Structure 1
Amino acid sequence: MKTAYTNTPDEYAVLRESCGLLDYADIGLVRVSGPGATDFLGQVATRGVEFLLEGQSMTALLLRADGTLLSEVLVHCHTGHYLVEIWPAQAAEATEHLLTRGALAPDTTVQDVSEEYDVLAVEGPASFRIAQKYLPFPVASMGYRSFVTTDHDGRSLTVSRTGVTGEYGYKFFAPAGAGEALRAEFTGLGAVECGKDAVDVCRMEVRFASVEHEAADGRATAFDLGLQWMIEPGKEPAGAADQPRRPVCWVGAEEMTERPAHGAVLAVSDAEVGVVTHAVWSPRLSRVIGTAQVDAAVAASGQEFALADGGTALRTVSAPFLTATSLDVALD
């Protein structure tokens, strides 16, 4: 994914106010099929898929052998197979992980099918109007994390409602080579191309965890990012819940204009209490906002900390940071 097509503030405004077009050129897609597919996914992911119905999708996590967080995935239940969708930043490692595990799984075929699709998405309060043109039923009846496969210009097209910004969002899985024509259609309908930096800001504002930033060192667990709710009982890695620090969200003071780096130390009266894990500038809030891992004793909303290297203050808050625009926009 491109970081930006024009500039991040303008693209952010598009995602929050109208309709942005995202190109998932580096997305990972793995097809899992065969009689053992359901059992295989139940073993490699942190949530079982046995109750997933055709046309539904669900999120789960992939963990490394040592229990650290590898990737968040979205599992789509198709007729006769599952399609595992992997965020671009984790696609290479997570795909290899699934292929390696799949080679040892009985009655299961695991294939990297990323090259079989062009994947585009529309996100923003007005995105449902574009999605409606490709659906055989009213867009209002399409539930979050559901999908449908339809025909478009004589080709199969899968449309899923799986937004990542907190706004309305729809992803389109087209056969490889059909993406450019689809892109032209979307832009002709008013969608504006947006890059991953603007998406990253939106994700933070509604507290969608960013594995590539918050687990940048490769040693973080699901508990470090607050994603333990995605682990079914009995699948927790040994000792993962016993770590001394907990994730929090924070808002920087008005005078904070620079985003602190991953690993920047947080302190209270010169005593280190945690580290910053990710930070972005929020145009809507006119503040630097972010996440951190802090000592369990101070992991609560309303706590005041300072950056150890500069003294700039920040305050922990409850997530999400803001209400998405789409909550006030009717699907009509």
Structure 2
Amino acid sequence: MDNQPDLPLQRTPLHAAHLRAGARMVPFGGWDMPVSYSGVKAEHTAVRERAGVFDVSHMGEFRVTGPGAEAFLQYVTTNDVSRLKVGRAQYNWLPGLAGGLVDDIYVYRAGEQEYLLVVNASNIAKDLAHLQAQTGPFDVTLTDESAHWALLAVQGPQAEALLQPHADTDLGRKTKNSYFQTTLFGVPVWLARTGYTGEDGFEVFVDAAQAEAVWEHLLGLGITPAGLGARDTLRLEAGFPLYGHEFSEELHPLSSDYGWVVKDKPYLGRAYLDAAAAHKLVGLRLDKVPPREGYPVKLNGRVVGRVTSGTSSPTLGYPIAIALIDAPDANADQYEVEVRGKDHPATRVRLPFYQRAQPGTTDTALIPTNSQPKV
């Protein structure tokens, strides 16, 4: 996601707090964002073992209200918004007019005729224009509230225990994808039991003017500040796609294993999603050399795809990648990834690479290295 060179970088309400915490700042999607504080591996490990907090206030928030809100969202998304009860959230897609995705989003139902959409930071203007263009037939009001909200993601196995003494709601009764109003450290907030790391946790929607106070309270609990670097390694281990890498307006989204997001209903651009995908996103494990986005993937010396995301996994201790492979060649067990002119063996593995152990089970289970992808 390239920045526009003629425009100054935007700053979240926590920019000064990041500098005080020693963050290394980088341009990202038009924003000046922290990539790391203590180091990517340390921040990654903190989230896997205890808890970390991310500033994701660069994300966009749209309010959708009115008698036609549900019908409107049913039309512009692929998932079944009608199944959302008040106080629940749902992962969803905005399909394009001519194939691919405008964005992948989260939908939160705040009231009987009220929803909040969270969209990717680099897509805020594009998504807003796309949605506004579809409002005509519906009795609905669409409002961009991105400047009003700060968004903090508290993620990790100890997130609930650390937050509970400072919240006025029984967090243990809130299941995954819950969305509710409460206070945290005496500050009014909305909490959602959602996240992007493969761990338990809560995303905190707070008025931008009060974000710094909440952030400092979280750090005071010993929660580790974490930047974009750890956010990327965590989401990749968990097999989560990133818009602009695994999804785009040019890629058929059903190249992924996220077909469950598409329900059998009328929606914008359905004819394009009904067509078969020409590619497949698969997981790859390498032995030594970490692959990067764009590296060629080969089958018996023939290029059959490319890496969309890759890293050296801090949790698993070996390089991993998601790759977009031509559909006819997507079922092989072994590939080669070309790294700086040299081919390195890569084994197809089932996504996710890492899955948090459930209560009553043993520690993190490693996925079998030559299994078929889970569809």
The normalised TM-score by structure 2 is 0.80
State the partner residue of 1:305. 335
Partners of 1:238 and 1:168 lie apart in 2 by 35
Amino acid at match of 1:306: E
Residues 67-114 of structure 1 deviation map (CA, whole Å, 9 limit, x = unaligned): 211211111111241001113343342233223333x24311000011
Residues 134-173 of structure 1 deviation map (CA, whole Å, 9 limit, x = unaligned): 4434322110000210245765311110021111110111
Q: Among 216, 224, 239, which residue is 2:255 paired with? A: 224
State the partner residue of 2:241. 209
Q: Among 79, 98, 114, which residue is 1:66 paired with? A: 98
State the partner residue of 1:50. 82
Q: Among 277, 291, 313, which residue is 2:308 paired with? A: 277
Amino acid at match of 1:173: F
State the partner residue of 2:319. 288
State the partner residue of 1:27. 59
Query: What is the CA-CA distance between 1:279 and the residue it aligns to?
Result: 0.8
Structure 2 residue ranges without an equivalent (≥5) = 1-32, 362-375
State the partner residue of 1:75. 107
Change (3 A) 1:31 1:251: same
Change (3 A) 1:270 1:179: same
Between 1 and 2, higher relative CO (CA 8 Å, sep ≥ 6) is seen in 1
Contact 1:90 1:212 in 2 (8 A): no
Whether 1:255 aligns to 2:285 is: no
Q: Secondary structure at the match of 1:311?
A: strand
Whether 1:136 aligns to 2:168 is: yes
Aligned residues: 323
State the partner residue of 2:45. 13
Q: Secondary structure at the match of 2:74?
A: helix
Q: Secondary structure at the match of 2:35?
A: coil
Partners of 1:270 and 1:23 lie apart in 2 by 43
Partners of 2:215 and 2:137 lie apart in 1 by 38
Q: Secondary structure at the match of 1:276?
A: strand
Q: Percent identity?
A: 26
Q: Deviation above 4 Å: which 4+ runs of structure 1?
A: 152-155, 325-329
State the partner residue of 2:119. 86
Partners of 1:46 and 1:134 lie apart in 2 by 37
Q: Among 265, 287, 292, which residue is 2:296 paired with? A: 265
Moved more, 141-150 or 87-96: 87-96
State the partner residue of 2:150. 118
The normalised TM-score by structure 1 is 0.90
Partners of 1:9 and 1:188 lie apart in 2 by 21
Change (3 A) 1:120 1:182: same
Partners of 1:296 and 1:149 lie apart in 2 by 45
Contact 1:223 1:240 in 2 (8 A): no
Partners of 1:272 and 1:75 lie apart in 2 by 38
Q: Secondary structure at the match of 1:238?
A: helix
Partners of 1:64 and 1:239 lie apart in 2 by 9
Alignment of 1:183-194 (within 5 A): 183-194=215-226
Structure 1 residue ranges without an equivalent (≥5) = none
Change (3 A) 1:200 1:153: closer
Query: What is the CA-CA distance between 1:12 and the residue it aligns to?
Result: 0.7
Q: Secondary structure at the match of 1:120?
A: strand
Change (3 A) 1:118 1:261: closer
Change (3 A) 1:172 1:206: same
Change (3 A) 1:239 1:126: closer
Query: What is the CA-CA distance between 1:239 and the residue it aligns to?
Result: 5.9
Q: Among 333, 354, 357, which residue is 1:322 paired with? A: 354
Query: What is the CA-CA distance between 1:228 and the residue it aligns to?
Result: 2.3
Q: Among 186, 190, 196, which residue is 1:164 paired with? A: 196
Amino acid at match of 2:212: E
Residues 22-73 of structure 1 deviation map (CA, whole Å, 9 limit, x = unaligned): 1112111000001111111011111232221111111110122112112111
Query: What is the CA-CA distance between 1:118 and the residue it aligns to?
Result: 1.6
Contact 1:223 1:241 in 2 (8 A): no
Contact 1:22 1:195 in 2 (8 A): yes
Partners of 1:177 and 1:33 lie apart in 2 by 24
Change (3 A) 1:294 1:156: same
Contact 2:63 2:143 in 1 (8 A): yes
